[in-house]
Amino acid sequence: MKKIAIVFVAALCLASCGQKETKSTAAPSPQDFPYMVEQFADLGILRYRVPDFESLTADQKALVYYLTEAALWGRDILFDQNCKYNLQVRRTCEALYLNYKGDKTSAEWLGFETYLKRVWFSNGIHHHYSEDKILPECSQEWFVQACQEANVEIPEGLLRVMFCPDYLAKKVNSETGQDLCLTSACNYYENVTQTEAEAYYEAHKDNSPEPMWIGLNSKLTKDADGNVIERVFKAEEGGLYSAALQKVVENLQKALPYAENEQQRLVIEKLIEYNITGNLKTFNEYAIAWVRDLDSRVDFVNGFTEVYGDPLGITGAWESLVNFKNMAATERTKALSDNAQWFEDHSPIDQRFKKAECKGVSAKVITAAILAGDCYPATPIGINLPNANWIRKSYGSKSVTIENLTEAYNQASLGNGFNEEFMLSDVERECAKKYGAHMSDVHVDLHECLGHGSGQMLPGVSKDALKEHGSTIEETRADLFSLYYMADPKLVELGIVPDMEAYKSQYYHQMMNGAMTQLVRIEYGKNVEESHMRNRALISNWVLAHATPGAPEAEIVERDGKHYMQVNDYEGLRRLFGELLAIIQEVVSTGDYARACQLVDAYAVKVDPQLHREMLDRYEPLHIAPYKGFVNPIYTPVFDKEGKIIDVWLDYTEGYAEQHLRYSRDYSNLPTINE
């Protein structure tokens, strides 16, 4: 805990001494970049680079700038959506944090500091992943005393909100048999039972062919007569969250003159109109315009989007992500999808299961410029929108991978001691360091652009034939397709991988992770459950079981009482991946459920308890935070005399607490309790 405080002070000090790095638009190289910011509780905070920002035109930079401003103004909304008292807790704790003059080395203070940092991370008082209430690591007595000394007023009821474990215990309750609206602490339903909410949505359902998503942008509550009413999130008068949404609108209006083309202008115009009126028909028009905006370099998500935070899965949590196309990586996925037929024709599977005509998916790879709302600080590394199925069907969807965030995850993990503990030797570690980050991107590209789309079912075979093993087997198939081809000279020829050594980083990682190290994510005594983890276990364990007797391509070896993965023959490993791909493709193409059960049962589920114990025991002392999140860069516009933006500077030096305090100071205008 002490370490955290030191890191924090250093960050603040840097800011107050004015010793920030020279401002520029270019991102420092990965080698010099300080990816790790700090670590506390179960959380690790990272920085991400925004490479190639300097390649944007001045207008594109200006567009990014105003979109990031529009993004940051939504922060309070999400806090309030997550729980009605979140802003109250945040503001009270921030006031104490800024005004406390007592001993800042005491365990109570450090416990309080960690609590506030966790509240910032979760956008509220519930854990972002488990959704359980976070309890302060300081005592209530200390907190009350400290607030008194610092002249910070404690609002009525706040102590219960913060310190009582049973009150508002779970953000989203999904226990069947309970009233999910009444027992969830999130703020989408107030004095409204689940039955009343469902009846309301049923009565207001839009049954037209292009339906509005009723409830996407509103909270259900009751009027004075006890009737269920909808409070719509909108900027115009009477709207819930209107003050924050007005600032969002204001910045979208400033972004508008910098739109890259007519289609993007339409997207922004429709979003402004929707934010003002809350009209869901306008939202549909916006979503369709957004899906059709494919040519712009800059793109963004801004608004009420994912519905996981609502126990009934209807209302969207506010989020924003501003990004621009990563040209080099997008070229890479295009090269793959342009050659989809070549890959299909050369696949090591039975001719009957190959597609005569194969079309790859060209995915867009993006660079995130800002993360906000439900995308911040914890964030997805891929996005696939819109959520409305009829829009996806008729107009398509956009799917992206966010490469500068995966880069940050990969780079930060290099120094955490994991590879030192679990990899066999420096040979594997050096290979991972040199090729790991790039090859894991290539792995994702091959898996998504080609793997899932490859092969075909025999006539009459149902898509659901493999039942509960369907997704494990399908993920195995896509991963094997990718593993098989990343070692193909074709990829060097296409310029996607640098040389014939690069694939070894992924091969080693697959074998070690699938058979051994992924067990650290499973509680002792449990089996492998999640389908991607099962797929990785299946591949590694099948390969180990089918390695050549006497001269195994890969094996688990023991050194000084510890077990390691050893790969003896990488080319032989590729042959085995190909053999397993042929088997898995046959299972899928013929819908062979019995064989799927047999493969999953033999290789994907069961855990060797001794190996599991060893992995957990070796992992624990590394103190690696299981959850990661980010701080954003700061964007500073440079104006000419006419007030037009001519450049935007990037600054990566802001610390975690510093950033949250600044956001709370500069982007916060909602009432503490929103009614």
Closer of 161 and 336 to Zn ion (Cβ): 336
Residue 649 in tokens:
């500077």
Rounded least distance, CB 470 to Zn ion, Å: 12
Closer of 155 and 382 to Zn ion (Cβ): 382
In angstroms, the CA 636 to CA 650 distance is 7
Radius of gyration for the alpha carbons in the chain, expressed in angstroms and rounded: 26
Closer of 254 and 392 to Zn ion (Cβ): 392
Rounded least distance, CB 139 to Zn ion, Å: 47
Q: Nearest to residue 373, comparing CAs of 70, 127, 674?
A: 70
Say which residues have a Cβ less than 8 Å from residue 294's Cβ, sequence separation at least 6: 398
Closer of 299 and 475 to Zn ion (Cβ): 475
Report the relative pairing of strands 398-402 and 364-373 from DSSP bridges. Answer: parallel
Instruction: For the segment 469-488, give every residue that binds Zn ion (CB under 5 A).
Output: 475, 478
Closer of 441 and 475 to Zn ion (Cβ): 475
Residue 597 in tokens:
């059960």
Rounded least distance, CB 390 to Zn ion, Å: 24
In angstroms, the CA 404 to CA 464 distance is 36
Instruction: For the segment 206-265, give every residue that binds Zn ion (CB under 5 A).
Output: none
Rounded least distance, CB 421 to Zn ion, Å: 29
Rounded least distance, CB 528 to Zn ion, Å: 17
Q: Cα angle vertex 635, ends 257, 235, to 5°?
A: 55
Closer of 45 and 336 to Zn ion (Cβ): 336
- The secondary structure of the chain in percent helix, strand, coil, rounded to multiples of 5, reads 50, 15, 35
Rounded least distance, CB 490 to Zn ion, Å: 22
Residue 364 in tokens:
């867009």
Q: Do you know the residue count of the chain? A: 675
Closer of 454 and 632 to Zn ion (Cβ): 454
Rounded least distance, CB 446 to Zn ion, Å: 11
Instruction: For the segment 327-366, give every residue that binds Zn ion (CB under 5 A).
Output: none
Rounded least distance, CB 365 to Zn ion, Å: 16
Rounded least distance, CB 454 to Zn ion, Å: 12
> Mask of contacts with Zn ion, 425-464, x by CB under 5 A?
----------------------------------------
In angstroms, the CA 233 to CA 224 distance is 20
In angstroms, the CA 232 to CA 245 distance is 12
Residue nearest to Zn ion (CB): 478
Instruction: For the segment 374-433, give every residue that binds Zn ion (CB under 5 A).
Output: none
For residue 563, the SS3 value is strand
Closer of 310 and 475 to Zn ion (Cβ): 475
Rounded least distance, CB 478 to Zn ion, Å: 5
DSSP 611-674: HHHHHHHHHGGG---SEEEEEPPEEEEEE-TTS-EEEEEEE----HHHHHHHHHHHS--S-SS-
In angstroms, the CA 79 to CA 664 distance is 11
Say which residues have a Cβ less than 8 Å from residue 243's Cβ, sequence separation at least 6: 669, 670, 671
Contact segment (CB under 5 A) with Zn ion among 126-134, 156-164, 360-368, 468-476 equals 468-476
| 364: β partners | 400
Q: Do residues 555 and 530 lie in contact, with contact meaning Cβ atoms separated by under 8 Å?
A: no
Closer of 385 and 554 to Zn ion (Cβ): 385
| 304: β partners | 318
Whole-number Cα distances in Å, 582 to 122, 204, 379: 44, 50, 36
**If binding means CB under 5 A, how many residues of this protein chain bind Zn ion?**
2
Q: Do residues 469 and 439 lie in contact, with contact meaning Cβ atoms separated by under 8 Å?
A: no
DSSP 339-383: THHHHHHT-SS-GGGS-SS-----PEEEEEEEEEETTSSS--SEE
Closer of 120 and 481 to Zn ion (Cβ): 481
How many CA atoms does the CB half-sphere of 182 hold within 13 Å?
10
Q: Cα angle vertex 117, ends 376, 74, to 5°?
A: 35
Residue 334 in tokens:
């295009």
Rounded least distance, CB 306 to Zn ion, Å: 19
Closer of 243 and 457 to Zn ion (Cβ): 457
Closer of 37 and 528 to Zn ion (Cβ): 528
Closer of 108 and 479 to Zn ion (Cβ): 479
Rounded least distance, CB 447 to Zn ion, Å: 6
Rounded least distance, CB 464 to Zn ion, Å: 17
Rounded least distance, CB 361 to Zn ion, Å: 12
Closer of 475 and 654 to Zn ion (Cβ): 475
Report the relative pairing of strands 298-304 and 627-631 from DSSP bridges. Answer: unpaired
Contact segment (CB under 5 A) with Zn ion among 337-345, 350-358, 366-374, 467-475 equals 467-475
Rounded least distance, CB 481 to Zn ion, Å: 10
Rounded least distance, CB 395 to Zn ion, Å: 23
Residue 532 in tokens:
């991607």
In angstroms, the CA 467 to CA 191 distance is 40
For residue 398, the SS3 value is strand
Q: Nearest to residue 193, comparing CAs of 183, 204, 207?
A: 183
Helix ranges restricted to H, 123-186? 140-149, 158-163, 180-183
Closer of 349 and 478 to Zn ion (Cβ): 478
In angstroms, the CA 341 to CA 486 distance is 16
Closer of 398 and 612 to Zn ion (Cβ): 398
Residue numbers of the site for Zn ion (CB under 5 A)?
A: 475, 478
